[in-house]
C-alpha cells in the first residue's frame, strides 16, 4: 500500500546521510521532497501542509542543529509526525460494563464490511470473548448467506432470522439480537449493516435507526483504503449523518497509494482502530500508528513479527526446540519440517521478511520469493522413511532416487536439501560451542575443557610463583644457617658464611684491622 511513499521518503533521507550539518537550503529541499511524496500518495492537501510545517519547524530547531547526526534526527522528526497524523497511540475497543457489548459496522457497499465482521469476530474469539454476528444487511443479495459462512469459518455464533435479499426489517433484527445474545450468553454483538454505492438519505436513516435501537458501545466506520480522497469525503458524510467512534481500514494489501489512511484520521478526528491486510480471516489486527510509521519509513515492524510468532509457536515446543538447537544434537529432518510448517502458518514469507528493517530496498528480491518452494521441501521430507528423517546419512544414491520420484522433484533438489541440512547441523554445533567468540553460548564450557587439557602447564604471572613451578635443570642446595664468628655480605654479624671453615689456631683478635673512624 505505501510502497511508493516509502520509496520516495527513503530516497530523500539517503541524500542527507552524507552531510554532517544541515543548512537552511538542505531543510527546504528535504521538506519540498516530502511534500511531493505525500501529494503523490494522495494525502489530503490540508494534512500535507500541516505535516510539512511541523517538520520544517522542528528541523530548524536546536534538536537538529546540535545533534551529532542531523540526518538521523530529521528521520526521527518525520517518524514522530507520521505517528501523530496516524493517531499517536493504539486505540483500544471500549466494552460495556454489563455484557453484551455492541459493535456496529457502517460503510459503503464494497468496502468489505461483511468480511470484516467475520475477521473481527474471529479476532475477539481469540481474545477470549464469545461474539455473536448479526445479519442486518438485508438489501444486498446473499449478504446473509455470506455472513453465515464467515461465522462458521470463524467459529462464532450468528443471528440471522431474516433471509434478506430485500426482505425483512433490519432495525427489528438488531433490536432482537440483544435479547438473543443475553439468552445465549454472548458477551459481544457485532452488527453488520447494509451499504450503498453512494451516500443517500435512506442509507443514513436506516443506519441512524439501528444506532438508536441498540445504542452501540462502538460504531466503526469501514473504509476502503484504495479509493483515495473519496474515502475522506465519505467518512465526513458518515460522521455528520450517523457518527462513528473509530475507523477500520480495509484492503491495505492493495496497490493503491494509501493517502486515505494518512488523511482520514486527521480530517475526521476519529482514530484508526483496526487494519485489514488480506482476504483471509486472520489477515486482521489492531492498528498501531508507531508500527505503521516505521513501515512507511522502511524501519521494519519487528514487534508485529514477534507477536505473530508468539501466536503461532507453542511455548513448550519452542523451548524444546531451542534446547535442540543450542546443543546441536538431536535436530532431525522431522524437527526441520515442523519448524518450517510453523513459519508457513505465520503467513507469506515475503510479508514476514518485509517486516524486517531495510527490506524496502530489496522489494524486487522479496517479490521473487515463492512459498511453493517450502511446499516442495515439505514433499521431499515426507517422502522419506522415518529412519531416513532421523539419520539422513543413510540416504544413498538409490534412496535419493526413490525420494525424488515420490515427491515429484529431481534428484538434484533432494541432494541440495540433504546438503543444506548437514550444513545447518554443522553451524548449530559451532554455535553450541560458542564459535570461539566470548559471550556466545557454550564459550565458557569450551574454555573450561581447554583449561582441563592444559592443567599443570600453566605459568603464573608472578615471577616467584613461575620460578617455583618451573623445575630447574641443576637444583641448588638448600640454604643453611650462617656459622658464627665473622660478618660479611649477607651474613649476620658474628657469624661466618655457610661452608667457610677457619684453620686450626686462628685467632681473629690478633688481626691488624683498621679501626673505625
**Model pLDDT, residue 187:** 92
Report whether 114 contacts 252 (CB < 8 A): no
Which helix (H) or strand (E) is 191 found in, with range? strand 188-193
- Compute φ and ψ for 435, nearest 5 degrees: 55, 20
Cβ within 8 Å of residue 313, ≥6 positions away:
342
Q: How many CB atoms within 10 Å of residue 478?
A: 5
Tens of each residue's pLDDT in the chain, 517 residues: 566 677 777 777 777 766 667 777 878 888 888 888 888 777 778 888 888 888 888 877 766 655 556 667 777 888 888 888 888 788 888 898 888 999 999 888 778 889 999 999 999 998 889 999 999 988 888 889 999 999 999 999 999 988 878 788 899 999 999 999 999 999 999 999 888 766 677 778 888 899 999 999 999 998 887 776 777 778 888 888 888 888 888 887 765 566 766 778 888 888 888 888 878 888 888 888 887 777 777 665 566 666 666 666 666 666 666 666 665 556 788 877 877 777 777 766 666 666 565 555 555 565 666 667 778 888 898 999 988 888 888 888 899 999 999 988 889 988 988 888 888 777 776 765 554 445 545 545 545 555 555 455 555 555 555 555 555 444 444 444 444 444 444 444 445 555 555 566 666 666 655 555 5
The dihedral through the CA atoms of 334, 339, 344, 348 has a sign that is negative
- Location of C-alpha cell 507453542: 314
Please state the CATH superfamily assignment of the domain spanning residues 101-299 in this structure: P-loop containing nucleotide triphosphate hydrolases (3.40.50.300)
Q: Please count the helices (runs of H) and the strands (runs of E) in the chain.
A: 23, 10
Report whether 261 contacts 1 (CB < 8 A): yes
DSSP 8-state assignment for residue 140: S
**Model pLDDT, residue 84:** 84
Burial 19-32 (b: 16+ CB within 10 A, else e): eeebeeebbeebbe
**Model pLDDT, residue 182:** 92
Class of domain 314-434: mainly alpha
**Model pLDDT, residue 479:** 47
**Model pLDDT, residue 105:** 92
- How would you classify the pairing of strands 483-484 and 495-496? antiparallel
- Angle, helices 411-432/333-345, rounded to nearest 10 degrees: 90
Q: Helix, strand or coil for residue 299?
A: coil
Q: Which three cell numbers stand for residue 431?
A: 554455535
Report whether 235 contacts 219 (CB < 8 A): no
Give the integer Cα–Cα distance in Å for 226 and 250.
8
Q: Which three cell numbers stand for residue 7?
A: 520509496
CATH topology match: 3-85 vs 101-299: no
Give the integer Cα–Cα distance in Å for 121 and 423.
45
Cβ within 8 Å of residue 492, ≥6 positions away:
482
- Angle, CA 256 vertex, CA 347 and CA 311 arms, to 5°: 20
Give the integer Cα–Cα distance in Å for 155 and 144.
16
Alpha-carbon separation of residue 250 from 113, 276, 495 (angstroms)? 9, 5, 106
Give the integer Cα–Cα distance in Å for 48 and 61.
20
**Model pLDDT, residue 223:** 85
Report whether 119 contacts 284 (CB < 8 A): yes
Cβ within 8 Å of residue 221, ≥6 positions away:
106, 107, 235, 238, 239, 244, 246, 247, 248, 270
Q: How many CB atoms within 10 Å of residue 160?
A: 21
Which of 497, 361, 329, 506 is CA-nearest to residue 428?
A: 329
Give the integer Cα–Cα distance in Å for 185 and 99.
9
**Model pLDDT, residue 166:** 77
Q: Which stretches within 127-222 are classed as H helix? A: 143-154, 170-183, 201-214
**Model pLDDT, residue 335:** 79
Query: What are the beta bridge partners of residue 220?
Result: 105, 246
Where do the domains of the chain lie? 3-85, 101-299, 314-434
CATH number of this structure's domain 3-85? 1.20.120.140
Answer yes or no: pTM beyond 0.75.
no
**Model pLDDT, residue 155:** 92
**Model pLDDT, residue 358:** 55
Terminus-to-terminus CA distance in the chain, angstroms?
107
Query: What are the beta bridge partners of residue 189?
Result: 102, 132
Burial 259-297 (b: 16+ CB within 10 A, else e): bbbbbbbbbbebbbbbbbbbeebbbbbbbbbbbbbbbbb
Q: Which three cell numbers stand for residue 474?
A: 641443576
Q: Which three cell numbers stand for residue 333?
A: 529432518
**Model pLDDT, residue 1:** 53
Amino acid at each position: 500500500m505505501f510502497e511508493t511513499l516509502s520509496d520516495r521518503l527513503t530516497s530523500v533521507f539517503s541524500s542527507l546521510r552524507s552531510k554532517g550539518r544541515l543548512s537552511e537550503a538542505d531543510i527546504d529541499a528535504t521538506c519540498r521532497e516530502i511534500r511531493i511524496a505525500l501529494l503523490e500518495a494522495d494525502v489530503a492537501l490540508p494534512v500535507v501542509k500541516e505535516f510539512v510545517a511541523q517538520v520544517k519547524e522542528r528541523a530548524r530547531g536546536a534538536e537538529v542543529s546540535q545533534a551529532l547526526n542531523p540526518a538521523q534526527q530529521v528521520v526521527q522528526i518525520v517518524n514522530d509526525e507520521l505517528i501523530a497524523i496516524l493517531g499517536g497511540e493504539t486505540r483500544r475497543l471500549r466494552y460495556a460494563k454489563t455484557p453484551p457489548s455492541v459493535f456496529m459496522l457502517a460503510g459503503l457497499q464494497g468496502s468489505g464490511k461483511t468480511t470484516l465482521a467475520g475477521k473481527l469476530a474471529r479476532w475477539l474469539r481469540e481474545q477470549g470473548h464469545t461474539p455473536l454476528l448479526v445479519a442486518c444487511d438485508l438489501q444486498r443479495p446473499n449478504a446473509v448467506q455470506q455472513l453465515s459462512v464467515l461465522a462458521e469459518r470463524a467459529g462464532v455464533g450468528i443471528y440471522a432470522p431474516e433471509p434478506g435479499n430485500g426482505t425483512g426489517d433490519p432495525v427489528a433484527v438488531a433490536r432482537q439480537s440483544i435479547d438473543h445474545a443475553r439468552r445465549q450468553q454472548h458477551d459481544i454483538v457485532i452488527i453488520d449493516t447494509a451499504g450503498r454505492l453512494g451516500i443517500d438519505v435512506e442509507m443514513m436513516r436506516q443506519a441512524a435507526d439501528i444506532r438508536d435501537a441498540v445504542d452501540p458501545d462502538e460504531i466503526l466506520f469501514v473504509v476502503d483504503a484504495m479509493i483515495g480522497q473519496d474515502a475522506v469525503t465519505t467518512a465526513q458524510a458518515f460522521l455528520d449523518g450517523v457518527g462513528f467512534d473509530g475507523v477500520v481500514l480495509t484492503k491495505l494489501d492493495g496497490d493503491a497509494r494509501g493517502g486515505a489512511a494518512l488523511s482520514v484520521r486527521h480530517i475526521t478526528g476519529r482514530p484508526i482502530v483496526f487494519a485489514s491486510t488480506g482476504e483471509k480471516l486472520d489477515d486482521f489486527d489492531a492498528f498501531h500508528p508507531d508500527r505503521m510509521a516505521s513501515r512507511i519509513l522502511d524501519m521494519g515492524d519487528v514487534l508485529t513479527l514477534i507477536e505473530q510468532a508468539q501466536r503461532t509457536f507453542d511455548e513448550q515446543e519452542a523451548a524444546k526446540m531451542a534446547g535442540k538447537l543450542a546443543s546441536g544434537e538431536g535436530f532431525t529432518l522431522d524437527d526441520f519440517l515442523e519448524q518450517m510448517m510453523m513459519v508457513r502458518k505465520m503467513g507469506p514469507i515475503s510479508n514476514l521478511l518485509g517486516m524486517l528493517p531495510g527490506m524496502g530496498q530489496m522489494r524486487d528480491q522479496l517479490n521473487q520469493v515463492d512459498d511453493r518452494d517450502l511446499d516442495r521441501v515439505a514433499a521431499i521430507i515426507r517422502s522419506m522413511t522415518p529412519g531416513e528423517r532421523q539419520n539422513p546419512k543413510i540416504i544413498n544414491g538409490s534412496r535419493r532416487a526413490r525420494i525424488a520420484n515420490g515427491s515429484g522433484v529431481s534428484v538434484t533438489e533432494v541432494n541440495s536439501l540433504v546438503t543444506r541440512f548437514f550444513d545447518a547441523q554443522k553451524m548449530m554445533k559451532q554455535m553450541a560451542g560458542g564459535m570461539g567468540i566470548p559471550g556466545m553460548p557454550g564459550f565458557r564450557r569450551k574454555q573450561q575443557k581447554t583449561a582441563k587439557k592444559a592443567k599443570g602447564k600453566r605459568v603464573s604471572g608472578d615471577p616467584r610463583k613461575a620460578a617455583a613451578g618451573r623445575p630447574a635443570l641443576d637444583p641448588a642446595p638448600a640454604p643453611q644457617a650462617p656459622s658464627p664468628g665473622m660478618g660479611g655480605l649477607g651474613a649476620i654479624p658474628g657469624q661466618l658464611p655457610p661452608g667457610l671453615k677457619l684453620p686450626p689456631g686462628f685467632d681473629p683478635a690478633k688481626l691488624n684491622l683498621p679501626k673505625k673512624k
